[in-house]
Structure 1
Amino acid sequence: MLTIVIAGGTDGIGRQLALQLIRNGERVIIIGRSSEKGEDLRREAAQLNGEDRFLFLQADLSLVSENIRIVNEVNRRVHHIDQLILCAQDQKFSKVYRETKEGLEHHFALYYLSRFILSFKFQEQLKRSLAPLIINVCAPGVKEDIEWNDLQLQTQGPFNSIKAIMHGSGLNNLLGVALAQSSADTNIKYLLYNPGAVRTKGATEAFDNILIKLLVKLIYKIIGLPVQKAVEPILHFIKKPPEDSLTAYKQNKKLDIGQIIPNKNQSKRLLQLTLDLIKRKHGEFNIN
């Protein structure tokens, strides 16, 4: 029985994975913001005779302090983690630059910084597994230049949440490199995974404008995968992790790491900038 942590597991891909893993007999720890959705998921786990293998932990993963708290909470409850799956994302379209109460741009904090903290802080727990794996559900293959002087897109003209998410995917690519380098002497594997267009509620309900919403739903009906189908490749990787320390896939297609991350040395720069940012907001932060 595997112990699998899913960050952002009460909706969409994370939720579907949680239920399927319960069916498969695995132990699942779900981290999410909504206690109500967590309770709904617990009831479904109980219907699958998996309540004893299900744990929901409430946390706002857009906050540095909450990520660190939840790592400590998981560490108190389990001896090791076999796999960490990172799904948390806010797909709601917005032109408003919104900061968390810690003073960080919301999408940057949730889509990149949370993944950074959990990836590094769960390393010790993952090292105790025979075949540890981190799956970062983001968008490898999407080309996006890094705004090195403005990682949170504070001064890049009118704010756009789509731009913020695309930029976050570029940051997550480099996070994969940094984690793989940090784990070079371990057996931790890191997988950057792009599920493509998936018919989740978050994706199809992202826009408030009714006409745009109807158009998006039509497009996703044509090109989007149902969630049950979209998680099949992830379930395959859970069962059979990649052999390389860092891999990237778009659905079932393996991507060339050298093409999607042409300058791996930039990961060191991003690592240092991220550590400096966390220390300014939260105090000392060690990744070893």
Structure 2
Amino acid sequence: MRTIVIAGGTDGIGRELALQLIRNGEHVIIIGRSSEKGDDLRLEAARLDREDRFLFLQADLSLVSENIRIVNEVKHRVNDIDQLILCAQSQKFSKVYRETKEGFEHHFALYYLSRFILSFKFQELLKRSAAPLIINVCAPGVKGDIRWDDLQLQTEESFNSIKAIMHGSLLNNQLGLAFVQSAADTNIKYVLFNPGAVQTKGATEAFSNRLLQILVKFIYKIIGLPVQKAIEPILHFIKLPPKDSLTAYKQNKKLDIAQVILNKNQSERLLRLTLELIKRKHGELKIN
């Protein structure tokens, strides 16, 4: 039995993974914002007679302080982590630049900063596993350039959440590289995974306009994968982790890392800028 932590495990891909892993008898720790959804998963675990192998931890992962609190709580509960799956994301479309109470742009904080903190801060527990693995569910393969002078898109004239998420995906690519470089003396594997279009409620109801919702649902019925199908590659990685330290996939297709991360000399820069941002708004974060 492995210990698997899923950040963002109460909805969509994370929830379906949690249910499947619970059925498989793994020890699953779910981190999510909604206590009600966490209770729903707990009831499902009880129905499967797996409640003793399930733990839900409530947290708002858009907050640096909450990520750190959760890391400390997990450390008090388990001696090691075999796999960390990063799924937390908000897909609600917005044209409004919105900051968390800590002063970070919301998508930047949830989709990138949380994954940054959890990746590095759980490194100690992961190293104690025989075959540790991190799966970052993001979007390797997305084209574009990192805005090094404006990581949070604060000066973007026509800001919207889609731009923020796409930019966050570019940051997550570099995060994967920064992590494996810092963990070069370990056997931790890091997978950047793009599930493509998936028929989750978050994706099909991202727009508040009812007509747009109907249109998106129709499109996703054509091009989108059912959630159960979309998680199959992740379940494969969980069963048989890749041999390389850093890999990237779009669904079942392995991507060329050189094409996913065009400039491999920037990971240290991203590491430094991220730590400086956190220090300025929250306080110093030690990752080693």
TM value normalised by structure 2? 0.99
CA displacement at 1:33 relative to structure 2 = 0.4
Partner of 1:100: 100
Partner of 2:239: 239
Partner of 1:69: 69
CA displacement at 1:148 relative to structure 2 = 0.7
Question: Which segment drifts farther, 20-29 or 276-285?
Answer: 276-285
Partner of 2:269: 269
**3-state SS, counterpart of residue 84 of structure 2:** strand
**3-state SS, counterpart of residue 192 of structure 1:** strand
**3-state SS, counterpart of residue 20 of structure 2:** helix
Partner of 1:204: 204
**3-state SS, counterpart of residue 190 of structure 1:** strand
Aligned counterparts of 1:47 and 1:212: Cα–Cα separation in 2:
37
Gaps spanning 5+ residues in structure 2: where? none
Q: How does 1:213-252 map to 2 (within 5 A)?
A: 213-252=213-252
Aligned counterparts of 2:170 and 2:283: Cα–Cα separation in 1:
26
Aligned counterparts of 2:22 and 2:100: Cα–Cα separation in 1:
33
Aligned counterparts of 1:124 and 1:19: Cα–Cα separation in 2:
26
Partner of 2:153: 153
Q: How does 1:1-288 map to 2 (within 5 A)?
A: 1-288=1-288
1:9-57 per-position Cα deviation (integer Å, ceiling 9, x unaligned): 0000000000000111100000000000000010011111110000000
Aligned counterparts of 2:203 and 2:113: Cα–Cα separation in 1:
21
Moved over 6 A (4+): none
Aligned counterparts of 2:50 and 2:136: Cα–Cα separation in 1:
25
**3-state SS, counterpart of residue 244 of structure 2:** coil
**3-state SS, counterpart of residue 5 of structure 2:** strand
Aligned counterparts of 1:234 and 1:133: Cα–Cα separation in 2:
11
CA displacement at 1:68 relative to structure 2 = 0.3
What code does the residue aligned with 1:59 have? Answer: A
- State the number of aligned residues: 288
1:183-226 per-position Cα deviation (integer Å, ceiling 9, x unaligned): 10000000000000000000000001111111100000001000
Aligned counterparts of 1:158 and 1:229: Cα–Cα separation in 2:
35
Aligned counterparts of 1:125 and 1:29: Cα–Cα separation in 2:
14
**3-state SS, counterpart of residue 5 of structure 1:** strand
CA displacement at 1:248 relative to structure 2 = 0.2
CA displacement at 1:144 relative to structure 2 = 2.0
State the percentage of identical aligned residues. Answer: 83
Aligned counterparts of 1:54 and 1:256: Cα–Cα separation in 2:
36
CA displacement at 1:136 relative to structure 2 = 0.1
CA displacement at 1:158 relative to structure 2 = 1.9
Aligned counterparts of 1:80 and 1:90: Cα–Cα separation in 2:
29
CA displacement at 1:286 relative to structure 2 = 1.1
What code does the residue aligned with 1:148 have? Answer: W
Aligned counterparts of 1:158 and 1:253: Cα–Cα separation in 2:
33
1:67-125 per-position Cα deviation (integer Å, ceiling 9, x unaligned): 00000000000000000000000000000110000010000000000000000000000
